[in-house]
């Protein structure tokens, strides 16, 4: 994307300490809630929170996987998928933090909530500001209120303007490069505060990637804690599926 001028029972296999990626297994284990147990679980406040947290973790896992799958950015498809996952996940992270805030008073004394609670503190204040701007401006919005496009176009001054690219005429291979140029430059304008464009861009990327890690670790820990509180193992079966 252009950069702005003006901003700034066989023998045992020897196990490696670090395992290489393995091919996907043909079968997987699924945890299934017993129907009679569900009638009780669905009324539990902790279970409702568990479901909400699981949704957030799904959303963040989507972003991590999509960005990882397309991180080579070797084709227009890769670039489009990577950047769109980046923006969307920034929005999901902010929504996740909003959820954490909504349950804070109920779980603040729970040890497994401690790290999620930390994400609401001063240490992560700057990250929350960045994610909020992403969520409210570019993650899920297409500028029906004319908030970002016109304003960014007026200020845009680039050495060149990549408009679109693709490897075929099919929509799934179409990438509108200029759309991401507008989104990135809008965020840079809003967050720069006399800093160079490169510095703000690096901050955006670091913030989203770092918060993916921080929220995932904290969220999974809290999720596991809720399972313990609910004695969830007494309500489920493991089902092997092909």
pLDDT digits (tens, 9 = 90+) for 168-214: 989 989 999 999 999 999 999 999 999 999 999 999 999 999 999 99
pTM here? 0.86
Residue whose structure tokens are 């994400």: 119
Domain boundaries, the chain: 33-237
CB 242 within 8 A of CB 26: yes
Mean pLDDT to the nearest integer, 218-241: 94
* Structural contact between residues 224 and 23, judged by C-beta atoms closer than 8 angstroms: no
Say if residues 125 and 97 touch (Cβ distance below 8 Å).
Answer: no
Per residue in 150-180, pLDDT (tens digit) is 999 999 999 999 999 999 989 989 999 999 9
Q: Answer whether 66's CB lies under 8 Å from 185's CB.
A: no
Whole-angstrom Cα distance, residue 137 to residue 134?
A: 5
């Amino acid at each position: 994307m252009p950069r702005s001028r003006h901003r700034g029972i066989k023998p045992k296999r020897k196990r490696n300490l670090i395992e290489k990626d393995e091919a996907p297994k043909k079968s997987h284990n699924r945890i299934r809630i017993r129907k009679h147990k569900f009638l009780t679980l669905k009324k539990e406040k902790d279970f409702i929170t568990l479901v909400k947290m699981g949704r957030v973790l799904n959303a963040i896992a989507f972003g991590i996987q999509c960005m990882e799958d397309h991180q080579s950015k070797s084709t227009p498809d890769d670039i489009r998928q990577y950047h769109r996952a980046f923006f969307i996940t920034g929005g999901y992270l902010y929504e996740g933090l909003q959820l954490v805030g909504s349950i804070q008073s109920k779980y603040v004394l729970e040890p497994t909530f401690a790290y999620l609670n930390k994400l609401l503190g001063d240490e992560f204040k700057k990250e929350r500001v960045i994610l909020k701007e992403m969520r409210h401006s570019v993650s899920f919005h297409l500028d029906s209120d004319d908030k970002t496009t016109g304003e960014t176009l007026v200020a845009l001054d680039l050495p060149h303007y990549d408009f679109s690219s693709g490897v075929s005429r099919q929509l799934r291979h179409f990438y509108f490069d200029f759309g991401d140029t507008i989104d990135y430059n809008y965020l840079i304008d809003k967050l720069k505060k006399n800093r160079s464009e490169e510095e703000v861009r690096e901050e955006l990327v670091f913030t989203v990637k770092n918060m993916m890690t921080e929220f995932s670790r904290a969220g999974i820990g809290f999720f596991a804690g809720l399972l313990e509180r609910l004695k969830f193992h007494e309500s489920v079966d493991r089902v092997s599926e092909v």
